């Protein structure tokens, strides 16, 4: 996977070695970028028009895939995750109703605008500075089609930075973030890479895009992770104290006084017994129901979310982790979308 991830860089080097004028390379790159953004723009317009025509929806979830894996420090399999998550969502082994009764077949609840063509952009020699901007712009294109709100399918965790940046900028101010993960992902620049999946929340906090950052499920954290957490005022809840913190975390109320709440779920927040298909297996994590309890009970206006770090190359033969990721996407959709649903009395 390392060689595939570097394909775009090698292609650009070949162009330079062939003495292709820099101006021609840039013109070609700009065409690919514009084509990529046009695809997302037109799909978002189509889905937004449909939802608005149906009417009565204050917020509707729209999936956006970002198949990026090259900023992973270990394995790059998360680049293959978005289509596997979609396949699991609609595989027919379960119905399309969320636990609280929202029907995913209704476009007022869920639409899909496709993927940012990450590999095609990198094949054209687009570097990470521009790639992050393209991801941000793609998210903004979705949000322009009110009432669509983005639910992003990763990809490694580096995608959270450009997505959160876009959401905050589009809404005009900082947001609160609920981040479920085994790791704080707050290194200044892990292994010298400012866009590393282990540094995404450092970039978010530096940019002032979040007022509060709550990190839940943490169980692999070193001195720098704690120091960076203190520097940015991060609320870090480690698994070693989860039994003590459970009642608070399962009754969170976030977003008062800011533009909304963003949820980022790294699948390795869960114990590998529940989600083995991740790059960084870290025992001692949350159960799947722990995660759902936190999400279901959260009181917040959720303006966007991502599900990241699913690695299909490490999943079980029967696709267990894909189904876990799909279920999370379904329940996050229910949290974001605001359309009446019949909820039985328990």
| CB contact at 8 A, 224 and 183 | no
Residue reference for tokens 């005009």: 172
CA–CA dist 153, 307 (Å, integer): 5
Tokens 């085994």 found at: 182
Residue carrying structure tokens 């399999």: 77
- Is residue 318 part of an annotated ligand binding site? no
The token pair at 15 is: 């162009």
181 is annotated as contributing to ligand binding = yes
Closest CA to 268 of 179, 180, 175, 205: 180
Query: Which helix (H) or strand (E) covers residue 331, if one does?
Result: helix 320-336
- The response to whether 157 counts as a known ligand-binding position is yes
User: Whole-angstrom Cα distance, residue 111 to residue 183?
Assistant: 31
70 is in an annotated binding site: no
Provide the pairing of β-strand 148-154 with 60-66.
Answer: parallel
301 is in an annotated binding site: no
Is 176 annotated to bind a ligand? Reply is: no
Identify whether the C-beta of residue 160 lies closer than 8 Å to the C-beta of residue 306: yes
Two structure tokens written together for 166: 């876009």
Q: Which residue ranges are tagged as binding site for Mn(2+)?
A: 157, 181, 183, 185, 266, 268
Q: Which residue ranges are tagged as binding site?
A: 157, 181, 183, 185, 266, 268
């Amino acid at each position: 996977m390392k060689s595939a991830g570097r394909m775009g860089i090698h292609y650009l080097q070949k162009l330079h070695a062939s003495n292709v004028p820099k101006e021609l390379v840039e013109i070609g790159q700009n065409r690919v970028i514009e084509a990529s953004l046009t695809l997302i723009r037109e799909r978002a317009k189509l889905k937004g028009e449909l939802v608005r025509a149906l009417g009565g929806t204050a917020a509707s979830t729209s999936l956006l895939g970002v198949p990026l894996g090259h900023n992973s420090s270990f394995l790059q399999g998360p680049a293959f995750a978005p289509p596997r998550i979609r396949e699991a969502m609609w595989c027919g082994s379960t119905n399309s109703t969320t636990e609280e009764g929202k029907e995913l077949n209704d476009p007022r609840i869920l639409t899909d605008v496709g993927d940012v063509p990450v590999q095609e952009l990198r094949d054209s020699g687009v570097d990470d500075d521009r790639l992050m901007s393209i991801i941000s712009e793609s998210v903004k294109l979705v949000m322009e089609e009110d009432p669509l709100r983005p639910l992003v399918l990763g990809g490694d965790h580096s995608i959270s930075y450009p997505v959160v940046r876009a959401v905050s900028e589009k809404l005009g101010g900082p947001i609160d973030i609920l981040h479920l993960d085994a790791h704080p992902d707050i290194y200044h620049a892990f292994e010298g890479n400012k866009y590393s999946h282990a540094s995404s929340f450092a970039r978010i906090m530096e940019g002032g895009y979040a007022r509060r950052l709550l990190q839940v499920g943490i169980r692999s954290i070193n001195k720098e992770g704690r120091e960076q957490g203190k520097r940015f005022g991060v609320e870090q809840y480690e698994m070693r104290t989860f039994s003590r913190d459970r009642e608070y975390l399962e009754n969170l109320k976030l977003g008062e006084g800011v533009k909304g709440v963003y949820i980022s779920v790294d699948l390795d927040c869960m114990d590998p017994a529940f989600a083995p298909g991740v790059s960084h297996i870290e025992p001692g994590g949350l159960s799947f129901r722990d995660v759902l309890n936190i999400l279901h009970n959260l009181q917040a206006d959720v303006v966007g979310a991502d599900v990241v770090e699913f690695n299909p190359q490490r999943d079980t033969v029967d696709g267990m982790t894909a189904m876990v990721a799909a279920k999370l996407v379904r329940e996050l959709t229910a949290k974001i979308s605001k359309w009446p649903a019949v909820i039985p009395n328990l």
